[in-house]
Amino acid sequence: MTRPKHPPVRTLPDRPDLAQLKRQAKELLKAFVADDAGAVAEVNAHYQRADAARFALHDAQLVVARSFGYSSWPRLKDEAKRRRASAGEAAQAGEAAQAGEAAQARYPEYLTAEAVELIEGQYADRPQLRPILDAVLALLPALGPATVQARRTIVSLVCPRRTFAVVRATTKDRVDLGLRLDDAEPGGRLQSAKASAAAALRCGSR
């Protein structure tokens, strides 16, 4: 196996700092001019017939690039920018995934990611009402098989046969719970839900 002409002696991190790379070149230049043994060895490994009297910053940048395994300073800069962009995209994807998991964790397992997103939108401008919805959803496991279907303005609770309840943040200070109770009559806090096809009665939060 042929040994590379300029074996790299520096390791480029996953998220390189271009300013730091420039500082490395300046430090190498300063050390080489001062006849530092390590700097002289690195320069001689990557730059033929280097003269300390005429060795300039662009020469030091070339040596640094070759030390990282790149043929020129522009190529090193391009790779540094590419890695930073890739790391940034990965970080954003990770943050989005964590946010989605956190939102999903607030609700029972039978809520889909789409339902969570719709619910978040319903209560975005009235977060003080969310505990009411959460309290209703927390009761579902005790009621038997049920699923949650969210639309733009309502949350429906559905059993295998039919929709048995709907929850709507009607105003910014009131949540209505609509119930399909076939044998119950309006009275007290239970009012007729004439406008709802999914529920016969409704109970407001105030």
pTM: 0.44
Closest by Cα among 56, 64, 73, 75 to 10: 64
Burial of 111 (0-12, 13-18, 19+ CB in 10 A): buried
Residue 202: the pLDDT is 47
203 vs 75: CA distance, rounded Å: 68
Domain boundaries along the sequence of the chain: 1-105, 108-204
72 vs 91: CA distance, rounded Å: 29
Residue 107: the pLDDT is 52
Local confidence pLDDT in tens for the 206 residues of the chain: 334 455 558 999 888 999 999 999 999 999 999 999 999 999 999 998 899 999 999 999 999 999 999 999 999 999 999 988 887 776 666 665 665 555 555 555 556 667 888 888 899 999 998 898 888 888 888 878 888 888 888 898 888 888 888 898 888 888 888 877 666 565 555 566 554 544 443 455 55
79 vs 90: CA distance, rounded Å: 16
For the record, the structure tokens of 6 come out as 């300029």
List, in order, residues 6 or more apart from 73 with CB less than 8 Å away: 25, 58, 61, 62, 64, 65
